[in-house]
Amino acid sequence: MSFFKSQKETFVFYDGEGNKIERETEVRFDPLTGESSRIVFDPGAPFKAPDYEEVAAQTSGPNCPFCPENVFKLTPLFPKDFVPEGRVTNGEAVVAPNLFPYSKYNGVTIMSKQHYVRLEDFTTKLIADAFRAAQMYIEKVHEKEDKPLSASINWNYLPHSGGSIIHPHLHVIVSEAETNYQAKFNEKAKQYYEENGEPYLTKLYEIEKENGERWIGEVGGIAWVHAYAPKSHNDFLAIFKDLTDWRAITEQDWEAFAQGLLAIFETLKEQGLRSFNMILHLSNGSSPIHARLIPRLVLNDLGTSDMNFFQSLHQEPLVYKKPEDIAEKARKHFPKG
């Protein structure tokens, strides 16, 4: 049985002069969940990144609760019996409570002192320190709670991603209830392990590295591939291949993850993409930890959203770019060796 499954459909029509046109749609199925994605005809229009310099200047400093002159005055505090200092800090990163929480425990990790950090301005240290701060917050939650909890570190970068503040920040979600993504992944990963005797992501890592089509690169034991059945025009998957317990992630691992992210940022920039959503699923059990990153954008000068009825209601992505082509772009930017 093939690990990667797809089916193709061809739509035939004619232009005004009677010339025959054929357009192909490829429906790909996720190897783990079976969820489908549609790779559709690419009109070839370039993606265009908006300029945030002006709005960044208008929203910085006294107008931003995350800027350094405000962060310790305007952000709320955790209870003292939970976080005695009120906030968790690591390097420039500061973790404070989310005023409008998505879960029982929702920390916001303010990543930097700088208000607007362009993709090219992020550094390995800035990213690694922020994710380590998020991990420190999760550690404190688990010291307090003795019941099973689901944890993730999430990133909405810039307004098109749903980010309401330009100042870069992460959402740390620790909840008694799994999200739909976590629940489905955990269920299918457990089923795969029981049926095959090895973790799904380990098998995916081995296959993708061997065939090379969607393989991107590897730094410090963290491998990057492009998803076979992507959730957007790019869909980058990071596999922490030897790590199944989030407690075991070291500062060196975060640095390796950050180096990979910087290469992914270069790949986004090359395509005229800037904004993105990212999830780092800190799974428990036998499955390696993994992250997924997809870009967010508008499609034209009208400001047309990249989400329509297919994604929002049919729950099926429409994708213009072939995963193999994007993986080839990304490999050029990835650290060698």
pLDDT digits (tens, 9 = 90+) for 203-225: 999 999 999 999 999 999 999 99
Q: Helix H segments across 33-150? A: 53-59, 71-74, 124-144
Which band of pLDDT confidence, cut at 50, 70 and 90, is reported for residue 55? very high
- Mean pLDDT, range 133-141, rounded to an integer: 97
Residue-wise pLDDT tens digits, 166-193? 999 999 999 999 999 999 999 999 999 9
The pLDDT of residue 260 is 98
Structure tokens at 311: 């994604």
DSSP notation for 140-176: HHHHH--S--EEEEEEEESGGGT-S-SS-EEEEEEES
Domain ranges for the chain: 49-337
The pLDDT of residue 242 is 92
The pLDDT of residue 1 is 46
Backbone angles phi, psi at 55, to 5 degrees: -70, -30
Mean of the per-residue pLDDT values of the chain:
95
- Mean pLDDT, range 134-145, rounded to an integer: 96
Which of 154, 187, 151 lies closest to 32 in space, CA to CA?
187
Q: Helix H segments across the chain? A: 53-59, 71-74, 124-144, 180-196, 200-211, 251-270, 309-312, 323-333
Q: Which CATH number fits domain 49-337: 3.40.640.10, 3.40.1190.20, 3.30.428.10, 2.60.40.2230?
A: 3.30.428.10
Is 326's pLDDT higher than 60? yes
What residues form DSSP beta bridges with 231? none
Instruction: Give the three-state DSSP class for 268.
Output: helix
Is 330's pLDDT higher than 90? yes
CA 33 to each of CA 125, 246, 284: distance values in angstroms, whole numbers, following the listed order = 35, 23, 18
pTM of the predicted model as reported, rounded to 2 decimal places? 0.96
Is 45's pLDDT higher than 90? no
- Mean pLDDT, range 125-139, rounded to an integer: 98
- Mean pLDDT, range 22-32, rounded to an integer: 97
